[in-house]
A and B are shown apart, each in its own frame.
Chain A
Amino acid sequence: MRSLDQGPGQGFAHLHVRSGFSYGFGVATPAELATAASEMGMEALALTDRDGLSGIPRFFEAAAGAGVSPVLGAEVSVDGGGHLVLLADGMTGYRSLCRLVTRYRCSSEDRRKPLCPLPTLLEHAGGLVCLTGAVPFGHVPRLVLSGRTGTADRVLRALREAFGEGLYVELTDDRTAGSRRRMGRVTELARRHCLPVLATNEVAYLGPEDHKLHDVLVAASNLTGLPGPGYRTTDQLYLKPRARMEALFGDRPGALRNAAAVAERCAGAVDLGGEIHVPSARLRGGETARGKLARLALLGAREKYGHVEGRVRARLRRELRCIEELGFAPYFLLAREAAEIARERGMPVTGRGSAANSLVSYCLGLTRPEPFSNRLLFERFMHEFRSDAPDIDLDLCSLRRDEVRDELARRYEEYGVAVAATAQTMSLRGAVRVAARALGHAPSGIDALSRHVPTRFRDRERTYNPLSGWEEALAEPAMRGHPLQDRERYGLLLEVSGRLAGRHLQAGTHNGGLVFGNEHHHLSELAPLEPTAMPSLLRVQYDKDDLEYAGMPKLDLLGLRMHTALHEAGVLASRRTGKRVDPYDPPPDDRETYALIRTGRNAGMFQLESPGQMHLSRRLGPRRFSDLVAQISLFRPGPVRGDLVTPYVLRKQGREQYSVPLPELGPVLRSTYGVLVFQEQVLEIACVVAGFSLAEGDQIRRAMTRDRGPGAMKALREEFVSRAVSRGVPRATAREVFSWTEGFAAYGFSAAHAASFAELAYASAYMRAHFPAEYLAAVLNAQPMGFYSPRAVLNEVRRIGLSVLPADIHLSGGGFTEEEDGTALRVGLKYARGLSGKALSSILAERSKAPFSSTLDLYRRTAVGRGALENLVKGGFLDALSPTGDAGGRAALLAEVSVLPKKPPPSRRNQDELPLPHPARRSRQKGAVELRGPGFLRLSAARQETMEWESLSLNVLRHPLSPYRQALRGLGVTPSPEILELPHGTRARAAGLLESLQRPPTRSGRPVYFLLIEDEAGLFQATIFEGVYKRDGHVLHQRGAFLLDGRVEQDKRRGFSFLVERVRDLSRALEAAGRVPEPQATPSSGAFLRAKRRGRRAG
């Protein structure tokens, strides 16, 4: 620390700073703050987010990068009003702060507005420095400025007793009217108590221009319009440079010097990155985690291989030694315990990710692919040189995942268990909604303003559809004719929302990401915990991606709806056949299954159902499990960008020869025809060419896939080349191999992950091939899942020759059911819009006692509300109860429903019977029941299917384009299967309903859009280039059925594609023939645009 005589501001650091992780009370990201502090020449900076430490890992990481010493702290909301600032001066302080935040956040009445009782705060003072809070809203200044000096004195005395020399009276000047006078009052208090004063600026944003964003966020987090609570007419709560702070506190130099002294005391005092906090396992007396793991692994190996000899023994020994050295045995045991809990409850469970590279994982039953036959390498998962914790992800039935999580939480309660948080940021659309609400727009206006605003979505590595601001967004076809194009009228909204996009708004919960404490530290000492919306479920404040930095391994229990579907399909198939059908143990290499995959009609198959995978299935022609593993790996953003698909396909088909630079590479690359598809192959290449160990090979892979800078890569290259040369490899060849590997490594995919998914893909394809009715019924019941809307799946059901039976209140099950010996599916009750789970259960219970005689009878005996009853009528469930006994009588039924009284709310449901409609009203509606008048003519088929579409979002009667066959032919439309066979260069016209519009990454970086439509004959993918999209894209966003003019391309290398030249609205083209019931386009994560699906279903 430099000497203080250099000036009062020397060494000054901001010690009261809120970031966006204050969720509504701060704007800047921790990285922005750290960078700005560094640019201002500050040596230290604190992050004191409100009631939490959520931003700390990112702040520490950013501060290290910016060369700023981080100070860890929090702004604690105190019961009685205002806040105090606590700063940790070491790990003891960090643990105190974690415990304190956990305690008061978990015991506050309102989890969104936690309050810390002062006695609780005083109990956790160890290792902490306390600031009395900013003027005027800090805890102590509030008391002083509202005339409660006696209380202020008492509080200060209590704080001094607890914090001793670590108590400072905080001074801030927000430069509002009277701010100097208020500061004077607080200074006077400090003088009376002989306490040191300390200058801060209560930083809430980066620069003065950001005060608007702060005001909006405060209002948004309080669900109010502007001004939000505690509004101040100031723009001064920004990260002020040292010179400005000196000017502001020129008359109080001691306050600046004390800030510098505290910064020196606390800066860099907390280090979160040093240690990995491995959870503790539950062990019987005398048993060690290592011993238990070895015992269970050997037991599993004997079950799976029948012996523990030879390579199995050697590899188990190697893996167990490494696991023991790194101390992760308890983590494996914990994962196994989760899997065992699932199995005990009859729940399917599989592993995913690189954990499948481990034989120990396989023997413990955590993963399914056999490591030797799939060339899976343990070193890709973990080895002695890796300092980070391994990551085991388990997939469970999505409906019952929480059972496993809760049981684990119960068993490990003594160490502390919580789920990870997710720091959610605003998309541009979200920012429009937040800003519009703050600016006082009505809810309907907010909907209109935010509709069609482009959104973005992310996977782990990149953002898709990135928009840097309004200029780009307003130029998007989706926003043609949008109200926000009126820039003059909505200038302020555009400005604020454009700058809010990407900012933090609130914390979410990663329901399956479990974090555990251990015998050394309860979880609440490792990180602060807070309650979630679910009772008894706690959340770690750190984002799921920040846990690794804090040294906290996470066990992911992920809900996978494919497990839900496969499990149900197995149950249904077993019931029909009378034999046990286990979808997780299908016969290997089933010819019919692979034949079905090769047709490319893969709707409903796990990982194989996207249009790209369907296309690849036809080109690749998989015939064995390894083909499926490669297929799943190839259709990923990396391999697509690296153009690995085409050479792989051509070589597999024998249409292209390949060679490898060295004969040693032959065995490594033979299975993938010389294409480097898997990350594991990089390890093997380093091993066979340069003699690296597999662990060293993994180091090289990691260096290649993460940007380590040119210097590091050069050193790595030289090491590789020199070691290869020493083994007799020509230098030029060694260089060539390294460059070649480096070029491919960035695109490679983990074989272990692909093999895990391929197991499920094969299982789903097997069930689809042999038990299609049961499997597709289960897929429809597990919605929302997969790539396709239920509408498209049901149409696919019809296309593969199964019948779709109409809904019936007495015959329909809760979900879809198979009938007629597996040749038909019947629509389930839970597809009826607005039918609650309770209402559905009551229908099933009551009809088992006696059939329903009328709509009134149903209404009286069940918990079905009037709105839901109307939807049941529209969906065709009550056709048999109509006067005509079929769909034609729905109008009469609707008339009956319309005169029924509304059911009272649950609190008033103590009457035995519903009153009958008023006689006068009944007589007015009498004609309806007697089927008189033009309104009660028999329903046309078109009206019937429109009703079903409105109620079920399904096409039960027929495909919606069936009635327009003639009209479409008249328009020159060619059915999709025929277009696939047209010669290269042919112009054709296609028509269909929207399923999805995607914009995947391309090698060139230029946007290309893939539109998936569905016509009567099947699913059809069309390619739209940028020019056409810009001209006609608005039709895609505003309509749900299209007429596409385009040109067929039959490329020998890439196969078929249909290049769209013009997009038109199909309904308008068919205007004379009638109106197509078309799906509504809606933005969706994972797809740029998707046919709207109903989110919630009953049951």
Chain B
Amino acid sequence: MLATVSEIHRYPLRPPGFEEPLFATAGTRRAVAEHLARATWLSRGSELRRGSGQASHSREEQAHVLRRADGRAYLVRRCGKGRRTRKRRVVRVLEHWREVGLWWEPERRVDRLVFRVLLSGGAVVDLALERASGEWLLVGMVD
């Protein structure tokens, strides 16, 4: 179960030749699932030991985006047990899209603009701008 970050990164995210939508048919769903199941570092949520401290999903996290007068933007977030403040410059917006969905479920409804950005230091993260509240959320760590 133990694997290094680089091992995880080396593992292809989808079977060769696959492109989104990955789950168009039952056949492609199965192919993707089997591909991921072959990864040594991946576990089923149901197989995780209770109380082991292992996380089975990542949480959305509040973030701040600072824009400076010179046009530069920074992602500011608190992390760690001591809630240290980390600040990273947004080098480039790689991609952006809209997510509108699950509007019929009050707790899970989504209406936001998502930006995939490259941060200084090389991390790629997904930042979402909530349409209703205008808040920024860190919704994913891609790389």
Binds B, one of A139-147, A522-530, A987-995: A139-147
Q: Select the stretch in A1-9, A180-188, A270-278, A832-840 that faces chain B.
A: A180-188
Give the 4 A-B CB pairs with smallest separation, nearest first: A147-B17, A233-B101, A145-B19, A178-B20
With A146-B25, A147-B15 already in contact, the answer to whether A136 and B20 are too (CB < 8 A) is yes
Of B64-72, B79-87, B92-100, the stretch lying at the interface with chain A is B92-100
- Let me know if B53 is at the binding interface, CB within 8 A: no
Say yes or no: B17 contacts A149, CB within 8 Å: yes
**Cβ contact within 8 Å between A439 and B104:** yes
User: A145: which B residues are within 8 A, CB to CB?
Assistant: 18-21, 24
Instruction: Give the complex CA separation of A145 and B103 in angstroms.
Output: 27
Cβ-neighbour of A175 out of B20, B28, B97, B101 (below 8 A): B97
Q: B127 to chain A: closest CB distance in Å?
A: 13
**Interface assignment of B121: CB less than 8 Å from any CB of chain A:** no
Question: Pick the contact of B99 from A81, A233, A439 — CB < 8 Å?
Answer: A233
Q: Which residue of the partner chain B has the closest CB to A234?
A: B100
A182 contacts which of B16, B19, B102 (Cβ < 8 Å)? B19
Docked pose: A176 CA to B113 CA in angstroms: 10
Alpha-carbon separation in the docked complex, A586 to B83 (Å)? 99
Query: From B105, which residue of chain A is reached at the shortest CB distance?
Result: A226
Cross-chain contact of B21 among A136, A180, A211, A227 (Cβ < 8 A): A136
Contact of A492 among B15, B24, B25, B104 (CB under 8 A): B104
Q: Tell me whether B114 and A177 are in contact (CB under 8 A).
A: yes
The majority secondary structure among interface residues of chain B is loop
Min CB distance B142 to A, Å, is 11
Check A175 against B98 for contact (C-beta < 8 Å): yes
Which of B19, B97, B103 is A176 in contact with, Cβ under 8 Å? Answer: B97
B110 proximal to A (CB < 8 A): yes
Interface residues of A in 75-134 (CB under 8 A from B): 81
Closest residue of chain A to B103 (Cβ to Cβ) is: A212
Residue contact B97 to A147, C-beta cutoff 8 Å:
no
- Are B25 and A81 within 8 A (Cβ)? yes
- Binary contact track A218-244/B, C-beta < 8 Å → 1, others 0: 000000001100011111100000000
| CB-defined contacts of B28 to chain A, threshold 8 Å | 146
Please name 15 pairs of A and B residues whose Cβ atoms are closer than 8 Å in the assembled complex, sorted by A.
Answer: A81-B25, A137-B21, A137-B24, A142-B24, A145-B19, A146-B19, A146-B25, A147-B15, A175-B97, A181-B95, A212-B104, A215-B104, A234-B98, A235-B100, A439-B104
A446 to chain B, nearest CB (A): 15
With both chains docked as a complex, state the minimum distance between the C-beta of A371 and any C-beta of chain B, in angstroms: 62
CB neighbours of A974 from chain B (8 A): none
Q: Measured between alpha carbons, how far is A145 from B114 in the docked complex, in Å?
A: 22
| Pair A178/B97 contact, Cβ less than 8 Å | yes
Q: Which residues of A contact B99 (CB under 8 A)?
A: 176-177, 233
Q: A136-B24, A212-B104, A438-B104 are known contacts; what are 11 more A-B pairs with Cβ within 8 Å? A: A144-B19, A178-B19, A178-B97, A180-B95, A182-B19, A182-B21, A212-B103, A215-B104, A227-B102, A439-B104, A492-B104
Q: Which residues 25-54 of B sit at the A interface, judged by CB distance below 8 A?
A: 25, 28
Whether B19 and A233, one on each chain, are in contact in the complex, defined by CB atoms closer than 8 angstroms, is no
Binary interface encoding of chain A residues 160-203 relative to chain B, with 1 for a CB under 8 A from any of its CBs, else 0 = 00000000000000011111111001000000000000000000
Do residues B17 and A235 form an inter-chain contact, with CB atoms below 8 A?
no
A439 and B103 CA atoms in complex are apart in Å by 10
Contact A181 B100 (CB under 8 A): no
- Encoded as 1 (CB less than 8 Å from any B CB) or 0, chain A from 633 to 657 comes to 0000000000000000000000000
Residues of B within 8 A of A177 (CB): 20, 95, 97, 99, 114
Q: Cβ of A231: which chain B residues have Cβ within 8 Å of it?
A: 101
Contact A176 B98 (CB under 8 A): yes
Q: Is A147's CB under 8 angstroms from B21's CB?
A: no
- The residue on A at minimum CB distance from B113 is A175
Interface string of A414-457 (1 = CB under 8 A from B): 00000000000000000000000011100000000000000000
Distance of A175 Cα from B100 Cα, bound (Å): 10
Please tell me if the beta carbons of A81 and B24 are within 8 angstroms of each other in the complex: yes
CB of A653, distance to nearest CB on chain B (Å): 64
A146 — which chain B residues lie within 8 A by C-beta? 18-19, 24-25, 28
Closest to B96 in A: A175
State A142–B18 Cα separation when bound (angstroms): 10
Count B interface residues, CB 8 Å: 21
CB-CB < 8 A to B18: which residues of A?
145-147
A83 to chain B, nearest CB (A): 13
Closest approach, in angstroms, between the C-beta of B40 and any C-beta of chain A?
A: 24
Q: Mark A459-471, 1 if CB is under 8 A from B, else 0.
A: 0000000000000
B118 to chain A minimum Cβ distance, whole angstroms, is: 16
Complex CA–CA separation, A212 to B104 (angstroms): 9
Q: Contacts of B25 on A, CB cut-off 8 Å?
A: 81, 146
* Alpha-carbon separation in the docked complex, A950 to B104 (Å): 41
Query: How far, in angstroms, from A951 to B64 measured CA to CA in the complex?
Result: 71
Give Cα A990–Cα B136 distance, bound, in whole angstroms: 69
Task: Specify the chain A residue showing the minimal Cβ separation from B16.
Answer: A147
Report Cα–Cα, A227/B104, bound state, in Å. 9
> Inside 8 A of A182's CB, which chain B residues have their CB?
19-21
Q: How far is the CA of A211 from the CA of B103 in the complex (A)?
A: 10
A176 contact set on B, CB distance < 8 A: 97-99
Contact of A181 among B20, B98, B110 (CB under 8 A): B20
**Residues from chain A with Cβ under 8 Å of B98 in the complex:** 175-176, 234-236
Residues of A within 8 A of B15 (CB): 147
Write the chain B residue with the least CB distance to A435: B104
CB nearest neighbor in B for A137:
B24
Taking a contact as CB atoms under 8 Å apart, the answer to whether B104 and A226 are in contact is yes
A182 to B24, CA, bound (A): 13
CA distance A211 to B20 in the complex (A): 22
Measured between alpha carbons, how far is A233 from B102 in the docked complex, in Å? 8
Complex CA distance for A232 and B18, rounded to whole angstroms:
19
Residues of chain A within 8 A of B101, CB atoms compared: 227, 231-234
In whole angstroms, how far apart are the Cα atoms of A227 and B103 in the complex? 10
* CB contact under 8 A between A211 and B19, given known A81-B24, A142-B24: no
B-chain residues with CB within 8 Å of residue A179 when the two chains form the complex: 97
Complex: A438 Cα to B16 Cα, angstroms:
37
Question: Residue of B at shortest CB range from A219?
Answer: B104
- Chain B min CB distance to A878 (Å): 52
Contact mask for chain A residues 344-382; partner B; CB cutoff 8 A; 1 contact, 0 none: 000000000000000000000000000000000000000
B97:A211 contact, CB within 8 angstroms: no
Name the residue among B19, B95, B103 with the largest chain A CB count within 10 angstroms. Answer: B19
A182 to B22, CA, bound (A): 11
Measured between beta carbons, the chain A residues less than 8 angstroms from B19 are 144-147, 178, 181-182, 185
CA distance A181 to B20 in the complex (A): 9
Cβ–Cβ < 8 Å partners of B114 in chain A: 177
Contact with A211, one of B100, B102, B110 (Cβ below 8 angstroms): B100
Q: How far is the CA of A146 from the CA of B20 in the complex (A)?
A: 8
Bound-state Cα–Cα, A438 to B103, Å: 12
Question: Measured between alpha carbons, how far is A81 from B23 in the docked complex, in Å?
Answer: 13
Q: How far is the CB of A1063 from chain B (nearest CB, A)?
A: 40
Q: Give A388-421 as 1s and 0s: 1 = Cβ < 8 Å from B's Cβ atoms.
A: 0000000000000000000000000000000000
Determine the residue in chain B with the shortest Cβ distance to A179: B97
- Which B-chain residue is minimally distant from A439 (CB atoms)? B104
Chain A nearest Cβ from B17, distance in angstroms: 3
Measured between beta carbons, the chain A residues less than 8 angstroms from B95 are 177-178, 180-181
Measured CB to CB, the closest approach of chain A to B115, in angstroms, equals 11
CB closest chain-A residue, reference B20: A178
Q: Is the beta-carbon distance between B110 and A233 smaller than 8 angstroms?
A: yes
Chain B minimum-CB-distance residue to A216: B104
Considering the chains assembled together, what is the distance between the CA atoms of A149 and B17 in angstroms?
8
A233 near B100: Cβ-Cβ < 8 Å: yes
Task: Specify the chain A residue showing the minimal Cβ separation from B23.
Answer: A146
Residues in B neighbouring A137, C-beta threshold 8 A: 21, 24
CA distance A25 to B20 in the complex (A): 22
Taking CB atoms and an 8 Å cut-off, the chain B residues in 84-138 that contact chain A are: 95, 97-104, 110, 114
A181 partner residues in chain B, CB cutoff 8 A: 19-20, 95
Within the assembled complex, what's the spacing in Å between the Cα atoms of A960 and B101? 56
Q: Which residue of B lies closest to A225 (CB)?
A: B104
Flag A480-507 by CB within 8 Å of B: 1 or 0 each: 0000000000001000000000000000
